[in-house]
Amino acid sequence: MMKSKIFMIILLLLSAFLFMPVSCSQEKEKPANTSLEQDAASSTLKAKNPFRGRILFQSDMDGDNEIYLLTARELKKLTDNSWDDEYPRWSPDGKRIAFNANPEGNYDLFIMEADGSSIRQVTTSPKDEIEHAWFPDGKKIAFTEQVKRGFRKRFTLMVVNLRTKKTDILVPEFRKSNSLPNFSPDSPLMTFTGKRTIGWDVFIYDLEKKEYRGLTEGGKGCRATFSNEGKIAYVSSTADGKGDIWLMEPDGSAKTRITERDETYDYFPSWSPDGKYVVFSSSPQNHRLRGNWALYLVRVKTKSIVPLFDSPGKDIHPDWY
């Protein structure tokens, strides 16, 4: 009887591993130490691409995760320390950057100026505050609170007032794990990634009506982000079982796959300011953030893809302003 119980426990753990959702939450592999930022900047910022503006991203090319700023002319390192600085996000006016970091062990939310100066801490709880988004008015930030419970993790969307530092639950109506907020620039709508039974799906939440509904089904969608025109880019693994960038309308209609590459994992979309392109991260290895990840651009109208930036490490979580 005891052997039978042990066998069932092992079987359940293996099943949980095999049916883990697409990479909607960050899982990292520590890289070998490297200091090749200069070589990466000179050799992998691709010519003949349509890139204009400023793209923030996270990379471990120097041995741990730091935040970088990419323009058509240069690569600039905005953080440089011994801990992980991750998930940079532009403020609505482009003057500040929100990011999460773990100098004390757990992840907290931080803000700095656009040039990397004046870093200040926003949250101080013992939990992990990760994967966030600015409210359109720039006065509040939504973030994902991660709590580990044995082998499991619980994700809850929270909001923090930047003036008072008061925090609160953002979507109390959603009882299961919810994460990865993103706001429409001109309507009271927020997308988020929520867990149903197995896997994750994209949901939309009306901040005024306090109502949510699912935009995808099947546990294979996540990481939705609004364009300035209100269209949604998101990740789905329905086509190839790995992950592609898709587009849809805020009501969930007109779903269109724009990275048709069965051989790669395409994740972490961010719109260009004019809505003509989406920058994303791609890897031929797997979606657990191991191996090499590089930045690419896809033209929405033609679905043509061009490489943008590729360092020796993992270049992920781009945000375009």
Structure tokens at 182: 């993103």
Residue 23, pLDDT score: 55
- Answer whether residue 308 shows pLDDT above 60: yes
The pLDDT, as a whole number, for residue 35 is: 46
pLDDT at 177 over 80: yes
Residue 149: per-residue pLDDT = 80
Q: How far is CA 48 from CA 51, 260, 311, in A?
A: 9, 21, 18
**d(Cα 185, Cα 315) in Å, to the nearest integer?**
26
Residue type, 291: G
The confidence band for 285, taking pLDDT boundaries of 50, 70 and 90, is confident
Asked if the model's pLDDT at residue 8 lies above 50, the reply is no
Tokens of 277: 């392109």
Task: Look over the chain and give the mean of its residue pLDDT values, rounded to a whole number.
Answer: 88
- pLDDT of amino acid 287: 59
Write the CB contacts of 77 (distance below 8 Å, at least 6 apart in sequence): 37, 62, 66, 67, 68, 69, 116
Q: What is the mean pLDDT of residues 107-129?
A: 97
Q: Does the pLDDT of residue 29 top 90, yes or no? A: no
Higher pLDDT, 35 or 246: 246
Alpha carbons within 13 A on the beta-carbon side of 168: 8
Cβ(299)–Cβ(308) below 8 Å: no
Question: What average pLDDT does this structure show over 97-122?
Answer: 97
Chain mean position to CA 295: 13
Q: What is the mean pLDDT of residues 207-232?
A: 97
> pLDDT class for 202, splitting at 50, 70, 90?
very high
Q: Would you state the pLDDT for residue 48?
A: 64
* Residue 98 reports pLDDT greater than 70: yes
Name residue 243's amino acid: G
Mean pLDDT of 60-78: 95
Say which residues have a Cβ less than 8 Å from residue 25's Cβ, sequence separation at least 6.
131, 144, 146, 153, 155, 179, 180
Q: List C-alpha distances in Å: 36 to 39, 250, 310.
A: 5, 41, 11
* Amino acid letter for position 228: N
Query: What number is the average pLDDT over the span 196-217?
Result: 95
Single out the residue of 267, 246, 28 nearest to residue 130, CA to CA: 28
Residue 237 has pLDDT above 70, yes or no: yes
CATH of 50-320 among 1.10.3720.10, 3.40.50.11810, 3.40.50.300, 2.120.10.30: 2.120.10.30
Residue 44 has pLDDT above 80, yes or no: no
Assigned token pair, 257: 């796959």
The pLDDT score that the predictor gives to residue 60 is 95
pLDDT tens-digit profile of 72-97?
A: 989 999 999 999 999 999 999 999 99
More confident residue, 9 or 187: 187
At residue 14, the pLDDT reads 38
